[in-house]
Amino acid sequence: MRSRLLWNGTVVSIAALLSIGAWATGGEEGEAISRTSVSSRPRSEALESARRIDRLVDAHLGRQGIKPNEAIDDATFVRRVYLDVIGRIPTAAETERFLQNKSRDRRAELIDLLLDSPGYTSHLFNTFADVLRVKTRLARQVSGDPYIHFLKESLTQNKPYDQLVRELLTAEGAANARDNGATGYFLRDREMPEDNMANTVRVFLGTRLECAQCHDHPFDQWTQKQFFEMVAFTGGLRYRNGDPRSPDTRELSAYGRELRNQNQQAYRNYRRLTAQLNNGIAGTGSGLARLPKDYSYENARPSSLVTAHTLFGDEPELDVRIPEPPRGPARRRRRPMNERQLRARDAALPEVDSRAVYANWLTSPENPRFTKVIVNRLWKRFFGLGLIEPVDDLKDDSQASNPQLLDQLEKLMIEVEFDLKQFQRTLLNTEAYQRAASTTEPSEDEAYHFPGPLLRRMTAEQLWDSLLTFVVEDVDGTIGAPDERAERLYAEYESIADLPTKELIARIDSEARSGQSPRDRVMARASEERRQQLAQEQAKRRAARPLYRQLSQARRKGDSKTEEKVLAKLRELGLGPDARRSRGRSDRSLRRASELTSPAPAGHLLQQFGQSDREQIEAGHQDANVPQVLTLLNGFLEAEVLRDSRSALRTVISQASQTRAKIEAIYLATVNRPPARDELALWKKDVDRYGDEALLDLAWTLVNSHEFRFIR
């Protein structure tokens, strides 16, 4: 077992790993393209906004008698900004390229480059997936792939945040119809409108109402009646596509009942196909909700209807009237309706587009909490702590650690029209962000005044994606198209969506006899396309092998002219500078976290290091434990990187010609800085004595160090 660990050049024991938790807790198309890139706004605007933020931070520090932390060097900056923006450490080549850049604007240029890269979408998706509890399987017979597609596509397009939220809250139609994945937001809480409303208010308005679902809130001002008045905005919501009372639906249901007792294979096909057709969201909102039958307050009767009202801010206009109850003898003879009958009756109430009203009120710049919550979340993303904590439990008396700064951030978000990329661009260009990290986290009763960001432990996704840089040469090449997984669902839905009921029934009968379903046909076609695609890729890579050898030689010699010529030829072939090597097994297991099953399966490294199970909002953790230590000491790193001569890190080492260059390459690849003089002397002596095995010891030591696992 490798036994040495380094922290800033100091050898420490393996046992020290167990203490890591103590370190931190033109036309439309042209317009879309321009907004996608950060260059849609001049960099000078972002820099000026950054200076305004710095003045507010520094003035506040002065009032508190606190000195700002020192500015970080380029090596610390390049590692931090890669982890914060695209969710992984830079490769040795990326690190060296930045450290050799002599441009005065090199940091701002790198920020823009990263914000416009595929890694930005990948990393931001992980953040929103935790907040929105995104899963590959939303419920029984309900795939989450269209929902994942919607979120990834929205982030790729740099869709304004307020627009993204409105689309989630107003989504309707078939869940598996192309470009209709926003319906997944309500399907995530299928048949639970009360839970969905509580999650919505917590995520987007930073207000916790869960307690008020059963009784008046014991620690805040909200009442149970107010809770259901908010639920009323989504009143009448139906968790299925289409009209269940239509003759076609009834005919199809009757056919299903017959199959259930006659042909189990056909019945399974029937269940899957009808789920494809029926999964979805219907109903624009009645503006009415029914109180619980055990409601015990004097301001309303149990099981009575209430109309939609907002919690705070301006009350939107909504014409809702509670229907009059039946009168006369018929009312006396009527038996009390059960819960199912009440739901059916409520679903038939007139629709008044209350969901659209709800969405517009919630996302309005005039809403006192919507903008505040998202800027506070993004500030925490880069600085380790929100200006108000917790970020999702705001109260009327909540005080920001720097109120003037929070006000300025809200103004900035409105000024950039909820452009998340532009907002983050400004934060990243501040001197406050580019200062050394503070290693002491304040207590719960103590405010943090941001002399610099807090030292943070990598998230599970950051760690996994960073480890992949040692395995896969083009790690961002594993990022697929946003609709990669959802496409098969769209194809299957489109094959049956417009079929008359009789033709659909005939198809199910035919498939029962042939033993092949629409999914089988879709998958077979997809597999054939995949085989052809792989054959084309392999042919390209065979043709590119001599070019990659030339590229490696040019990089070793520092021959930039030859390097550029070779890169141009590779681009003509549609290939990047770092070819992914075949590893003798499916590459699907060696993809960035955003491309894996959401969340990763039990036992996966992501789960070991605290990835959220996506059952609760932001349920991930960064707590240290013994299995994590064992995984890094003897597991993934040893098997996938150090003992595999084809790994990206082993390739980097082999391309360096001399011992000094090999040691420097390992430092640049793992902790993204050149080795100090004493570190270089120490490891050169070991290599002279033990040979190349000492180089693997060095890589193992650095990856198992605090310096690797923390964002400094």
pLDDT-based confidence at 550, cuts 50/70/90? confident
Query: CA-to-CA distance for 225 and 541, rounded, in angstroms?
Result: 65
The span from the CA of 268 to the CA of 260, in Å, is 9
- pLDDT higher for 393 or 503? 393
Highest mean pLDDT among 420-434, 557-571, 594-608, 628-642 belongs to 420-434
pLDDT given for residue 258 in this prediction: 79
pLDDT of 199 reads: 97
The pLDDT of residue 469: 96
CATH 1.10.3130 in the chain, residues?
A: 1-25+622-712
Does residue 645 surpass a pLDDT of 50? yes
Residue corresponding to tokens 């920001």: 400
Predicted pLDDT at 627: 79
pLDDT attached to residue 328: 55
Interatomic CA distance for residues 451 and 434, integer angstroms? 10
Its sign, for the CA torsion 139, 142, 148, 154, is negative
Return phi, psi of residue 633, to 5°. -70, -45
First to last CA, the chain: 28
Higher pLDDT, 33 or 54: 54
pLDDT tens digits along 527-546: 566 567 666 766 776 777 78
What is the model's pLDDT at position 326? Answer: 61
Q: Tell the burial category of 471 from Cβ atoms under 10 Å away from its Cβ (0-12, 13-18, 19+).
A: buried
Check residue 334 and give its pLDDT: 57
The arithmetic mean of pLDDT across residues 335-352, rounded, is 73
Give yes or no for residue 136 having a pLDDT over 80: yes
What's residue 357's pLDDT? Answer: 96
Alpha carbon of 584 to those of 409, 576, 587, 646, 653: distances in Å? 50, 21, 9, 10, 21
Q: How would residue 519 be classed by pLDDT, with cut points 50, 70 and 90? A: low
CB-based contacts of 35: which residues, under 8 Å, 6+ apart? Answer: 157, 158, 419
Q: What is the pLDDT of residue 14?
A: 31
pLDDT(330) > 90: no
User: What whole-number distance in Å separates Cα of residue 342 and Cα of residue 176?
Assistant: 29
Of all residues in the chain, the percent with pLDDT exceeding 90 is 59
**From residue 450, how far is each of 107, 173, 386 by CA, in Å?**
21, 46, 10
Asked if pLDDT for residue 206 goes beyond 60, the answer is yes
Is residue 419 predicted with pLDDT exceeding 80?
yes
Q: Is the pLDDT of residue 558 over 80?
A: no
Q: What is the pLDDT of residue 463?
A: 96
**In the prediction, which pLDDT does 9 show?**
38
pLDDT of 492 reads 87
Q: Is the pLDDT of residue 24 over 60?
A: no
Lowest-confidence segment of 178-187, 353-362, 495-504 by average pLDDT: 495-504
Question: Fold for domain 1-25+622-712?
Answer: serine acetyltransferase, domain 1 (1.10.3130)
Q: Which of 95-104, 114-123, 258-267, 547-556 has the lowest mean pLDDT?
A: 547-556
* Of the candidate ranges 62-76, 236-250, 376-390, 597-611, the one whose mean pLDDT is the lowest: 236-250
What pLDDT does 332 receive? Answer: 52
The arithmetic mean of pLDDT across residues 264-283, rounded, is 84
Q: Of 193-207, 275-289, 625-639, where does mean pLDDT reach its minimum? A: 625-639
Whether residue 220 has pLDDT greater than 80: no
Q: How far apart are CA 568 and CA 558, in angstroms?
A: 17
User: Where residue 32 falls among pLDDT bands split at 50, 70, 90?
Assistant: very low
Report whether the peptide linkage leading into residue 390 is cis, meaning its omega lies within 30 degrees of zero: yes
CA-based nearest residue to 648, from 577, 542, 571:
577
237 has pLDDT over 60 = yes
Residue 126 confidence class, pLDDT cut points 50, 70, 90: very high
At residue 82's C-alpha, the angle toward residues 651 and 41, to 5°, is: 130
Q: pLDDT tens digit string along 448-488?
A: 999 999 999 999 999 999 999 999 988 998 898 999 899 99
pLDDT of residue 22: 35
pLDDT score, position 527? 57
- Residue 292, preceding peptide bond in cis (omega within 30° of 0): no
Give residue 525's pLDDT: 55
pLDDT of amino acid 27: 39
* Residue from 243, 130, 128, 251 nearest 501 by CA: 251
Does the pLDDT at position 84 exceed 70?
A: yes
| Among the ranges given (571-575, 614-618, 664-668), the one the predictor scored with the smallest mean pLDDT | 571-575
Q: What is the pLDDT of residue 11?
A: 36
**What is the C-alpha to C-alpha distance for residues 282 and 274, in angstroms, rounded to an integer?**
16
> Where is average pLDDT lowest: 213-222, 304-313, 550-559, 580-589?
580-589
The alpha carbon of 540 is separated from its chain's Cα centroid by a whole number of angstroms, namely 33
- Average pLDDT over the chain, rounded to whole? 86
Percent pLDDT > 70 in the chain is 85
| Cα 271 to the center of its chain, rounded Å | 31
